[in-house]
Structure 1
Amino acid sequence: MEKIFTVTLVLHIIGGTLSLITGLVAMLAAKGKSRHRAGGKAFFVAMTLVFVTALAMSLMKGLTFLLMVAFFSYHLLLRGYRALYLKELYKGQRMALPDYLINGVGVIFNTGLLAWGASHLVTHSTYIHTVAVFFGLLGIWMAGSDIKHFIIPPKDKQQWLYTHIGGMCGAYVAAVTAFMVVNVHFLPGLMVWMAPVIIGGTLITLTINRYKRKFNKQAAATETTVPVAVR
């Protein structure tokens, strides 16, 4: 069993390393171009390897926190990737089987993460349990927001893009966080966990807002354009 665990751990490290590289390639490449798409697909595969190996290791060693954080991170990735197929949300696009699975499993495991962290906060609290509560609440909020878009269609037809950015970049932040947790030992534990989330979350929000301003400006320019009469 120990040999299997070691092999799984090595594969997990390989997947994590590849996710950091491919995710960066996708983010730096021109959006919508072949390099961005190739980098994004490679990032998805690498993060899937990270998820599968984390799932296996958590089951082999009974690591509850690793199990739930793995689902939290993979939920981010799946919602970001799935958003590419939800470009008609503003028209009332209906939920399909992948949406039920992604959001359903997301709610279940993030609720479990929240409950696990909260229960330990009452008894023998550590910073890990604070992190669990924060991640659990964040995951539930994201799943709830995605479900809401099927019930009340968003007015912004670019909502799919904002979800794509939030999900994929959020998964990259998760990969960076994991790297820091393993390798950074000179900072307080809570800071190591939360710093990438706060910084990454801020950058994601700024990026989404930049796109919103861009699209709003384009829409305003289109509305104010006076058509030329043809004689």
Structure 2
Amino acid sequence: MTFYSLARSLHIAAGVVGFITLWLPLFARKGGALHRRMGWVYVSAMGVVAFTALILSGTRFIVDPAVRSVALFFISLSTQSAAAASLGVRVLRAKQRTTAHRSVYDLGIAGLTLGTGLVTLTWGVMMNAPLLWGFAPVGIFVGASTLYYWLTPPRERMHWWFQHMAAMVTSGIGTLTAVLVVNARHLGISGMQLAVFLGPTVVGVTGLRFWGRHYRQKFSPPPRALSNAPLAGSER
């Protein structure tokens, strides 16, 4: 078995594990044992997926000019998904912070996501590849918003909860997009390119907005009860 084929086998195995464990933390009781354990399995699988994707897609980008745009798409997608999964874990470790967070690791991962998005956008414009310049803004936004989150003091009490939730959904969007793109022909949806590439993003972002609204209402302080005492000067 060659190094390339080994990386491919690891990539497929980790992708299957990641796709399966993606759903369990979303629907399990938040903070429960199943949620935490499956979340760690998913994050670990995404780390393997990203590493092997860089090997596989990086190799194809170098040796096969005909597929460079597709290879760069998967490099960007895997980087974005793994960075979002990492963010989902890291925010929990820094949830007590009240000032800017300047960890070299966290800022580096966010910067890598932003940089990969900019490179993908530039390449897509130069090569006239709609797949790239249409997808690249997602990575740019994720990287830039993550840098902003780390470098500014928290503005709400449960900031870590919402950032964790957004990061894991973003990672899940990337995972689902990759699965659909790779298996579109087998699923009979190869002719629905726009839906394949943008469908998970539209559904995920829409669901995240409703989810965030629900939890903001849940975490908001209860309205102060109106006093039952009679107003001053009122008739007895």
Query: Which residues of 2 match residues 55-66 of structure 1 at below 5 A?
Result: 55-62=54-61, 63-66=71-74
Which one has the largest radius of gyration?
A: 2
Aligned with 2:87 (options 70, 79, 87): 79
- Map residues 1-231 of structure 1 onto 2, 5 A cutoff: 3-62=2-61, 63-89=71-97, 91-121=98-128, 129-185=129-185, 186=189, 187-216=191-220, 219-221=221-223, 223-224=224-225
Q: RMSD over aligned Cα, in angstroms?
A: 2.1
Structure 2 gap ranges (5+): 62-70, 228-236
1:56-114 alpha-carbon deviations (Å, 9 max, x no partner): 1122222333222221222222222221123134x224322222212221221111112
CA distance in 1, matches of 2:226, 2:43: 41
Structure-2 separation of matches of 1:131 and 1:85: 36
Mapped to 2, the partners of 1:6 and 1:21 lie a distance apart of 23
* Structure-2-length-normalised TM-score: 0.82
Q: Distance in 1 between matches of 2:53 and 2:152?
A: 35
Equivalent pair of 1:87/1:157 in contact (CA under 8 Å): no
Per residue, is there more helix in 1 or in 2? 1
Q: Percent identity?
A: 25
Q: Which has the higher contact order (CA 8 A, sep 6+)?
A: 1
Deviations 1:143-198 (A, max 9, x none): 22232234442321211111111111211121111111122233322221111111
Structure 2 CA distance, aligned partners of 1:194 and 1:157? 33
Distance 1:32 1:225 in 2: 35
Q: Which moved more, 1:109-118 or 1:62-71?
A: 62-71
Task: Say whether the 8 Å CA contact 2:18–2:45 is kept in structure 1.
Answer: yes
Between Structure 1 and Structure 2, how many residues are aligned? 214
* C-alpha contact 1:68 1:112 (8 A) present in aligned 2: no
